[in-house]
Structure 1
Amino acid sequence: MSNFIIRKVAVLGAGVMGAQIAAHCANAEVPVVLFDLPAKEGDPNGIVKRALDGLKKLEPSPLATADRVQYIEAANYDQHIAKLAECDLIIEAIAERMEWKLDLYAKVAPHIRPDAIFATNTSGLSINKLAEGCPDSLRPRFCGVHFFNPPRYMSLVELIPCKGTDAPLLDNLEAFLTTTLGKSVVRAIDTPNFVANRVGVFSILAVMHHTQRMGLGFDEVDALTGPLIGRPKSATYRTADVVGLDTMAHVIKTMTDNLPNDPWAQYYAAPQWLQALIAKGALGQKTKAGIFRKQGKQIQVLDLAAQDYRDSTGKPADEVVAILKNRNPAEKFAQLRASAHPQAQFLWAIFRDIFHYVAVHLETIANNARDIDFAMRWGFGWQQGPFETWQAAGWKAIADAIAADIAEGKAMASAPLPAWVFEREGVHEAAGSYSSSAKAIQGRSMLPVYSRQLFPERVFGEAEERGTTIWESEGVRMWTTGDEDGKRVPVLSFKSKMCAVGADVLDGVQEAIKRAERDYDGLVIWQPKPPFSVGANLQQIKPVLEAGDFATLEQVVANFQATSMAIKYAKVPVITAVAGMALGGGCEFVMHSPRAVVALESYIGLVEAGVGLIPAGGGCKEFAIRAAQATARTATNDLMLILQPVFMAIAMANVSKSAKNAKELGLLKQDDVVVFNANEILHVARKNALAMYESAWRPALSPAGIPVAGRNGIATLEMMLVNMVEGGMISPHDYKVARSAAVALCGGEIESGSLVSEKWLLDVERAQFVDLLKTEKTQQRIAHMLETGKPLRN
């Protein structure tokens, strides 16, 4: 068996999706050739080059680091089509027009290598009809691979075979998408709009129908259909604006054209008001006006009755909010259905109709119920999929309520619920999820790639493994899995809210390291759910600060530093496995671990300046040491070249925009490992710990004689601050905080070039930290953060 390795990718089409798919391949160290038509004037590669320039300006950035764009080669079909033969995977991502795609296939097919994969990124066109445009020899290597926008950030990729697609090819491609690109794959059936868009677009159409039926405002509906019901902040109508109203209408039309006999077919049409907006070019966010628009600082919403925009003021009724806060799903749904309030009736209706829809269509649109639920979580950002929500609310009670509404003509369609609904207690169970087509429970994929996901995402009702506890305290849990790696390398997880670091966590980390040194070959600090850690637990220090007990506060800081040093100098490797945020003290733990394994979408930073403090868990000390070590390898021997960007990052509380960006900022070491799929970081972290142990790894010795920038360095950094204060960029207290960071980074008010110890640097940063705690403005910042969750710039 030969290894399946994709060395180079070609992307056909430099539009929004094509360019961003290319960017994400480049993020993953896969070089890309990005094709488009030759420009009619000037540089023949002008279309692609403009797309590449556009990648640099997009926010959030499709590029993990700005330099990724250099690994995308611009090409056009007329001059460079032969380059396709260099590529192992070709992804077509041009506009959703069947005839255009088929014309392109005829052009490129002769240049595709006999062993290369050819895939189309279509949101809903028939894969089998597209396959008919490929030569017979290419069809076994043709499939659909539907990325969701934006490709870097959206987890879901739908993988859709045509009738002749080679099964091992699909397995190999799924492994590449999962590990290399970090995606969550759902195998889809070749049906219009596949899984996520089929269910998601129907859900939006149901919301539109009931909005009009109940006479609700678009802003009122968005207030109801966002986080209150476990969906993204962009809710429904704002999501349509972000996607593009023209794009939304196109996806709806796919259903209109291809599902004429569907029980819900009458609803597969863009409402007249949507068509009117599109006709006048109000396409949503990309044209700065759609359902919503911004006038100055005010968000306005389209008012259909007034045929004009008005200020957006819609909000959920108190009665409905009270119902939604009920943590018992069965009671919540019963109350929504029973309530006479229009908003409650609206919510019951949209849930009822999506439950009805997925039950009727499960057999034809998905392999099993799990695929539908994951598709909606990964592709549309729902906290729970429709089947999960139904099952959590009481399967039989909801089924009976839906059946009653169908009988009374209240549901959007008259199709009866399938018989299997009444024969079961739900669709998810420990062994797997129900498949209507197979009339059986289907377990998870057994592809080898999923053995890397030790704790994959679960659906409601599925068995969940938590490991075996070795030792536990108020702040942490040390535990292990039953496999051989787990027996050698246990896991340490924090129990605090947002994994904040307080005294109980600090003591727990130190105790866990002692136990790991005594009984195991390593330790991984990993949180089953992000974040890794938001930093110090300010709530714990608040009463001590209010009491003015600064001696105790200094002891707390010293204990924080001791914990970081315990991680750094443990006699077995202590690996930090990071996904999500690692801020403040969490970042300092990462900086001190001999190796970090970090998911690409990790946001790491020393953010203490936001509460009027500086890093004092060893962060400033560690940067001072790294600067000295890096400077020793340069000809100029100028510490300030290294310290200046570090200082600005601390002073401005900068947070990395990706794990790779964290390396650029110096927050991660160059040999720290970036993993694209967050579900794989525990596996990779344990393997790294074992590899280090087996290679007779020893912690680095504490450096002696560390050269520091001293007074001259502090003065240099202060000059930067003076300009910022005079320019109104920072306040006088920002200046004080930043100067304290400068003192810590430069080793204190001592002679420049002095040689100091690691302990000296820790003492300096701790002293600066405690001095800031004594200031009124820092105390105000801490209080404001605890009250509002937002920084105060006083």
Structure 2
Amino acid sequence: MRDQRFLVRKAAVLGAGVMGAQIAAHLVNANIETLLFELPGEEDNPNVSVIKAVEKLKKQEPAPLSIKTKAACIQPANYDQHLELLKDCDLVIEAIAERMDWKRDLYVKVAPYLGEHTIFASNTSGLSINQLAEAFPQALRHRFCGIHFFNPPRYMHLVELIPCQISDAAMLDHLEEFLVTDLGKGVIRAKDTPNFIANRIGVFSLLATMHHGREFNFGFDQVDALTGSLIGRPKSATFRTADVVGLDTLAHVINTMRDTLPDDPWHRYFVVPEWLQGLIEKGALGEKVKRGVYQKIKSEIHVLDLSTQAYRLSASDVNEELKRLLKYSNPAEKFAALHNSQQPQAQFLWSIFRDLFHYCAVQLEAIADNTRDVDLAVRWGFGWNQGPFEIWQTAGWGQIVEWIQEDISTGKSMSQAPLPQWVMTIAASDKQSVHTDQGSFAPASGELQPRSELPVYQRQLFPDRLVGEEAIYGETIFETDAVRMWQSGDGIAILSFKSKMHTIGVDVLDGVQQAVKEAEQNWRALVIWQTEPPFSAGANLQKATERPKIDAQHGSAPSAPPQPPTAFQSFMKKFRKSAQATVLQVARELDLADALMAKKLAEVEGMIKQFQQASQALRYSMIPTVAAVDGLALGGGCEFVMHCDRAVATLESYIGLVETGVGLLPAGGGCKEFAVRAAHYAKDGDPFPSLKYYFQTVAMAELARSAEQAKELGYLRLADTVVMNRFELLHVAKAQAIALAETGYRPPLRLREIPVAGSSGIATIQSQLVNLREGDFISEHDYLIATKVAHVMCGGDLTPGSLVDEDWFLELERAAFMELLATEKTQARIAHTLKTGKPLRN
């Protein structure tokens, strides 16, 4: 293995199925030139299979591609014509079907064409890496390993890295660093055991849940109601997750466990249930064919009823007593209540947790190096809020041990295998912890094992921490109820919001302006970064309410409008649907109900002016400002991003000015900023061509579904940086801030001569709006909202080319915002959405 820096200039993926195509998509998301191989097709079109797979990528949801144009960067190839191209690839990932014989045959075929330093990896989800390595020439095996991505590869954080017996150690380190920084993944080194770590534990948990669901005679929907967000797991819970994974895939993994783990004490449960096999035989494979355990009929979700073997409307209730005890803030009290309750749903939950803890304890040493690897693998691969050992530790290690032993002795547990001695040792210790600041428990040594010391992890200033690990966010500079400004010794001040969903109210605005002043006096730069996502759910004029979250299991983004159309007519036809798609999101962002009822419009206007002042302070401060964005950056949060000198955003940042969804418009400088940018790109002094595109973005309440798309829509600039790994975000943002400071930073000069599109720009847009209003494509109020946006962004009723300053646009923003806010229909839209959770078109 070379000592020089490891670079992946070109990669290849073998197999254009669901996983192979999506792995290729994520490689091009990371700007890696990628070949996608498949068996040759028709004689006149041998790459037809790959071409179809790439076209499918453009239509899939959640989107595997950060922007659709990245599809063109995937180069189709086939095994008959293009094997010679492999010699130039630094990394080749095999992702064909889970057949040992097929994989071995492919390895024999491609091995002679690999480059001198090519790393070859299998994406197998559970086959033996050492057995697969036997198909490789002896001289190449040191460059072979397993790289197991989880589905969907763009969104799921986990990648399991599995060495074979002679995998080169330096190669594995290089590969881990590439996966972490370049692809943004959380890497777990797994042992070569069936299904590795995450699937081994996750599938056992699913089997245990199935078993106890049958024992308690619960329907599939009842089990899902109990095993989703209620207990800190994705809302897809158990059987919806099975549908998403694919029932045939699930059956394959279960059979792998049955065939390869004959000595497992739980082996008798590794059986594909009759109902599951029956669905597979009928072709009901789950989400990919729109029918599995669940089936959507029109707008209703139906579920398979085993008693009738027919689908019925999905409906399930959670016992009120159970809801109450699950709200206990103390995990030990919560588990005591579950254990002691005679309520069937509570007994069910205790049973699935007990058998999960039991299985993890018995199997830990065989499948993983330490408890940290198990917990992070399950969290990152299955979307649980906490891993099994974390849950056990917070619930009271020693007490749980006693209860598990009681259930083993009375035959209540799924297996009679005794708990290993290390479990008793932890129970007898003072801390009763498997996770601490010093490390996590490693059964082979009986000691705490610290985190990896690979250089790549020095970039993660605050890695994803476990229960028992304390995060200390630097030294406080100042702190209020709304914000905290802090530093860590490098001259960079960091501002973090403390509000729910990091919404922006008057107190946060005060904090931003105070932070800018403090940074100008005493610090080199200011970075706005939140200790956890989102960056900001936007303006909170009265109070913040709960917002929908990104589903960790599916990796899906919040509901978003379609991609920006190229034709103005097409845009306006989609206006109504697009506005309704974001109305619920925005109404929860801008909870104006109390202010409206009290008619505090003057207070609202004062806050809007203060918002504009804060945005301008970020733009014209005497020190560089950097927004470090992860997750949602909506409305006012987006406006802060647009006004900082630089933005550093994770790929999974969902950025947008979405105020029109509830009948308002951006008024924290967002409309002004787009008008300024349009003027910057103006040809012959005419800003309208660019402005028209930006108008579409604002009027449609476009929400970018990736940081790359945010650049397309104009929320981010070309100079802004996209980071693949969210745990490297702060490191990169501080580096950007330092780089700006090192240049002898001066703020941009205030713009005093901005050409406007003026009355002719407004008229052009308005003529289209009139036609669509009369054709009933938009309502009267839709028309009013859109014309207000056009009026502001075009600079008002001025002669085209007239020169104005930024304050002119800011005044237009405020006036238009308040005019819309005062209308009964905007008030009705907000009130209706807050009350019903549904959009209103009026």
Task: Settle same-fold status: TM greater than 0.5.
Answer: yes
Residue 601 of structure 1: aligned partner: 652
1:426 deviation in Å?
2.3
Shift of 1:315: 2.1
**1:552 offset after TM fit, Å?**
2.7
Q: 1:477 to 1:39 in 2, by over 3 A?
A: same
Aligned to 1:508: 511
Q: Deviations over 1:746-787 (max 9, x none)?
A: 011222221111111111111111111111122223334544
* 2:59 match: 57
2:782 paired with 1:734: yes
- The aligned runs of 1:365-404 (5 Å cut-off) are 365-404=367-406
Q: What does the per-residue CA deviation read over 1:310-358, in whole Å, with 9 as the maximum and x for residues that have no partner?
A: 1111121112111212221111111112112211111110000000000
CA displacement, residues 662-717 of structure 1 (integer Å, 9 cap, x when unaligned)? 00000001100000001111100111111111111211111121111111111111
Letter in 1 for 2:362: V
Deviation at 1:82, TM superposition (A): 0.2
Q: 2:734 corresponds to which residue?
A: 686
The one of 411, 429, 441 equivalent to 2:448 is 441
| TM-score normalised by L of structure 1 | 0.98
Does the CA contact (< 8 Å) of 1:538 and 1:782 recur in 2?
no
Which moved further from structure 2: 11-20 or 540-549? 540-549
* Cα displacement string for residues 355-409 of structure 1 (whole angstroms, at most 9, x for unaligned residues): 0000000000111101111011100000000000111111111111111101100
2:488 to 481, 497, 514: 481
Give the secondary structure class of the aligned counterpart of 1:474. coil
Partner of 1:622: 673
Inter-partner Cα distance in structure 1 for 2:394 and 2:249: 33
For the residue of structure 1 that corresponds to 2:762, the secondary structure is: helix
2:537 pairs, out of 492, 516, 534, with: 534
Write the letter of the residue equivalent to 1:371.
Answer: D
Shift of 1:638: 4.2
Indicate yes or no: 2:468 matched with 1:461: yes
TM-fit CA distance, 1:439: 1.6
Q: Secondary structure at the match of 1:185?
A: strand
| Corresponding letter in the other structure for 1:744 | V
Matched, 1:324 2:330: no
Range 559-568 or range 534-543, more displaced: 534-543
How do residues 649-664 of structure 1 correspond to structure 2 at under 5 angstroms?
Answer: 649-664=697-712
1:519 aligns with 2:567: no
Alpha-carbon offset, residue 464 of structure 1: 2.0
In the alignment, the residues of structure 2 paired with residue 526 and residue 333 of structure 1 have an alpha-carbon distance, to the nearest angstrom, of: 35
SS at match of 2:748: coil
Structure 1 distance, partners of 2:600, 2:797, is: 26
Unaligned runs of 5+ in 2: 427-431, 544-591
Q: Kindly provide the amino acid, as one letter, of the partner of residue 533 in structure 1.
A: S
Q: 1:138 aligns with which of 129, 140, 163?
A: 140
Aligned to 1:587: 638
Mapped to 2, the partners of 1:109 and 1:745 lie a distance apart of: 59
Deviations 1:494-544 (A, max 9, x none): 111111100000010000010000001001000011110011103256544
Matched, 1:547 2:598: yes
Matched, 1:253 2:255: yes
Give the direction of change, closer, same or farther, for the CA distance of 1:549–1:291 in structure 2 (3 Å limit). closer
1:440 deviates by: 1.3
Q: Deviations over 1:399-454 (max 9, x none)?
A: 11111101100000000111111111121111010011222110001100011110
Deviates more, 1:536-545 or 1:336-345: 536-545
State the match for 1:715 in structure 2. Answer: 763
CA distance in 2, matches of 1:192, 1:638: 64
- Range that drifts further, 744-753 or 545-554: 545-554
CA contact 2:679–2:686 (8 Å) conserved in 1: no
Tell whether the 8 Å contact from 2:541 to 2:604 is kept in structure 1 after alignment.
Answer: no
Residue-by-residue CA offset, 1:218-241 (whole Å, 9 max, x unaligned):
001101110000011111001101
TM-score for both structures, normalised by structure 2: 0.92
39-48 or 450-459: which moved more?
39-48
Q: Is the 8 A contact 2:84 2:113 kept in 1?
A: yes
Which residue identity is paired with 1:560?
A: F
Aligned to 2:477, which of 466, 470, 486? 470
User: Given that residues 14 and 48 in structure 1 are in contact (C-alpha distance below 8 angstroms), is that contact kept between their aligned partners in structure 2?
Assistant: yes
Q: SS where residue 539 of structure 1 aligns?
A: coil
3-state SS of 1:523 partner:
strand
**Match for residue 815 of structure 2?**
767
* Whole-Å separation in 2 of the counterparts to 1:787 and 1:610: 16
Contact preservation (8 Å) 1:538, 1:786: no
Match of 1:77 in 2: 79
Residue matched to 1:670: 718
| Partner amino acid, structure 1, of 2:469 | E
Secondary structure of 1:209's aligned partner: helix
Preserved CA contact (<8 Å) 1:539 1:786: no
Unaligned runs of 5+ in 1: none
Q: Measure the CA separation in 1 of the matches of 2:775 and 2:372.
A: 56
338-347 or 256-265, which deviates more: 338-347
Cα distance between partner residues in 2 of 1:471 and 1:52 = 51
* Residue aligning to 1:14: 16
Would you say 1:642 and 2:642 are equivalent positions?
no
CA distance in 2, matches of 1:311, 1:789: 22
Give the number of aligned pairs: 787
1:407/1:230 CA distance change after superposition, 3 Å = same
2:541–2:607 Cα contact (<8 Å) kept: no
Report the counterpart of residue 776 of structure 1 in structure 2. 824
1:785 and 1:533, CA in 2 relative to 1: closer, same or farther beyond 3 A? Answer: farther
Following the alignment from structure 2 to structure 1, what is the Cα–Cα distance between the partners of residues 838 and 139? 59
Out of 138, 162, 173, the position equivalent to 1:160 is 162
CA distance in structure 2 between the partners assigned to 1:41 and 1:353 by the alignment: 55
Q: Which residue of 2 aligns with 1:725?
A: 773
RMSD: 1.3
Query: Which residue of the other structure, out of 609, 619, 627, is the alignment partner of 1:568?
Result: 619
Distance 1:589 1:207, change over 3 A: same
- Report if aligned partners of 1:610, 1:792 keep a CA contact under 8 Å in 2: no
The Cα of 1:650 is off from its aligned counterpart by 1.2
1:751 lines up with 2:799 in the alignment: yes
Q: Would you say the 8 A contact 1:584–1:608 is kept in 2?
A: yes
